[in-house]
Chains A and B, each alone.
Chain A
Amino acid sequence: MIFTSIVFALFFLIVAILYYSLPCKHRWILLLVSSIFFYMYSIPAYILVASFIILITFYAAIKIEKAKVSEKAMQFYIAAITANVGILVFCKYSNFFSSSVFDSINFARQKLFHNTEIWNNTLLIKVVAPLGISYITFQAIGYLIEIKRGNHYAEKNLGHFSTFLLFFPKIIAGPVERAHHFLPQLQQIKKFDFDKIIIGLQQILWGLFKKLVIADRLSIYVSAVLGNAENHSAISLIAAVIFYVFQMYADFSGYTDMALGFAKILGFDLMQNFNRPLLSKSVTEFWRKWHISLSTWFADYFYTPLAIAKRDWGNWSIVYAFFTTFIVLGFWHGANWTFLIFGTLQGLILTIEFFTRKIRKNIRKKVPMFLNNMAGITFTIGYFALSLIFFRANSVSDALIIIKKIFTSRESGIYIENPSIMLFCIFGILFLSIVECKKEYFNHLFTFSNNKYWLIRNGYYCLLLMIILIAGVFDGGEFIYFQF
């Protein structure tokens, strides 16, 4: 059930009506039941995998908290972490590893023994990862780490804990919630809050707009060009790659806005996941504003412990932590060498920015702020676009073909087979840019969405709705982050 479907809208309407019809103390049961239903809607059997993770994590956390001896706590901790990581690795990466093993064997046999027969991975079962497995395991692992550190209590109510991990607004693609942020909300009595519901509806509308009008429209051009890169000019490829940045942002942040909006209607505040990242003036700043729930998860549980453990290396501990963290973060996205390169590119630029921060600060003092901002934003979007070439490509060689064509193609002219699509794409990017710039730089001057006059406020929402009907893509788009 994707958020933009009418089936989901009906499902949510029923859940919301039932939710506010029930007494407050029983509402979590409805949330759990509807989350289980949502999870089982595609492939019912996968609930078994989720249940296993929930049970292992729940009981291990209680044991860790209760353990009188730290070695005992450590045993439960390692067992539970291993189980979570093991399931994640098996579900997401077993095909990759087995294919890589077979590719290596075949390569060796060809080079060493001149044997061209191909051995295939026919023995191992092709594993299809359960819905939201990365998000479930990461939230579980984060929970266990906080319990072990003594920063959070172990949840004693299995139902509450299950609801935390399976909560349907965030199960498909996050945010990666923290237990200490979510569980107290589950335990608080939630009265009907009119303001929250209106805010939630506003978020859903804006998320829907970004997804249907901007992301899915850009995707048409991006797929047409990047899916056939050998036959397009450099300028078309550059346009497609830049469009892909906006598509990625609109798609993912649109989904997140909808997730936050649905949760808000039910009275829950989920973590903010984006903070206008495309207006970042450095890639370092970008990663503080993009997929915040995941990057802070990695910062708290990966980067910081790594850097602290190796702090005797001085600045090189930071470099080491950067590369390791972003390579793992890249790999989290999928089992492909392209994601590794994506991660490595992030580690590389963050290292360069780290070592040049003082120089750049001095330059900033001498350059007008507007120019400085423009240069920073342009560089950040450009670099992210370059790394996304690998992120999107099916293989490293496909990505290199695109990059080679960008820098060596002598063909002229931009691909505009359908002017209407190009016009909608440009409109979408402009609209998004104007809204983001307004929120970033001019929010104090005026607002449509929170205007005090009912007609202006609702007129703006009607305008968004009309644009969705005129310019939205209804022919089955899918969220990019769905696959993770």
Chain B
Amino acid sequence: MDRSEIIHQLTNIFIDIIDNGDISLYNETTANDVDGWDSLTHIQLVVAIEKHFKLRFNSKEIQGWKNIGELADSIAGRIA
């Protein structure tokens, strides 16, 4: 799976969890850029992402993501 596909699938997960059809994600996107992405929804997003991609992150990875790009890198590294 290439990174653009990962980000596309992430976008669908975000739209579902945050319940907002207007979300667009890019490598540089952070929580500040997405209305409704806060510490509350962050946990739900992590659970949904793990379930969707069938993987499990560790705490250090989860706390280390600074933007969507780094999150996508983590996923790419796991499913490669």
Report A188 CB to chain B, min CB distance, Å.
22
Which residues from A are CB-within-8-Å of B60? 149
| A305 and B40 contact, CB distance less than 8 A | no
B2-10, B42-50, B68-76: which lies at the interface: B42-50
* A321–B42 CA distance with the chains assembled, in angstroms: 13
B21 to chain A, nearest CB (A): 13
Chain A, residues 142-176, CB within 8 Å of chain B (1/0): the string is 00000001110000000000000000000000000
- A149-B63, A309-B59 in contact; A304/B43 too (CB < 8 A)? yes
Q: Using C-beta atoms within 8 Å of the partner chain, give the interface range for chain A.
A: 20 to 34
Known: A299-B39, A304-B39, A309-B59. 18 other contacts (CB 8 A): A149-B60, A149-B63, A151-B64, A303-B39, A304-B42, A308-B43, A308-B46, A308-B62, A308-B63, A311-B46, A311-B47, A311-B50, A314-B47, A317-B43, A318-B43, A321-B43, A354-B40, A361-B19
Question: With contacts A304-B42, A308-B59, A361-B19 known, is A149 near B64, CB below 8 A?
Answer: yes
Q: How far is the CB of B51 from chain A (nearest CB, A)?
A: 10
A305-B43 contact in complex given A149-B64, A358-B19, A361-B19, C-beta closer than 8 Å = no
**Cβ of A32 under 8 Å from chain B:** no
Chain B residue, CB-CB nearest to A145: B63
Residues from chain B with a CB closer than 8 A to the CB of A308 are 43, 46, 59, 62-63
Contact B46 A305 (CB under 8 A): no
Determine whether B38 belongs to the interface, using a CB cutoff of 8 Å to chain A.
yes
A288 lies within 8 A of chain B by Cβ: yes
**A288-B38, A299-B39 as given contacts; A305 in contact with B47, CB under 8 Å:** no
Give the dominant DSSP class at A's interface.
helix
Flag whether A258 is at the interface (Cβ < 8 A).
Answer: no
A binding-site residues for B, Cβ under 8 Å = 149-151, 284, 288, 299-300, 303-305, 307-309, 311, 314-315, 317-318, 321, 354, 358, 361
How many A-B contacts are there with CB distance less than 8 Å? 37
Q: Chain B contacts of A321 at CB under 8 A?
A: 43
CB proximity of B17 to chain A, nearest CB, Å: 11
- Asked if A284 and B47 sit within 8 Å, CB to CB, the answer is no
The residue among A284, A304, A354, A361 with the most chain B CB atoms within 10 A of its own CB is: A304
Chain B residues closer than 8 Å to A314, beta-carbon distance: 47
In Å, the complex CA distance between A371 and B43 comes to 31
Distance in angstroms between the alpha carbons of A331 and B59 in the assembled complex:
26
CB distance from B49 to the nearest CB of A (A): 11
Could you tell me the distance in whole angstroms from the C-beta of B53 to the nearest C-beta in chain A?
15
B54 to chain A, nearest CB (A): 14
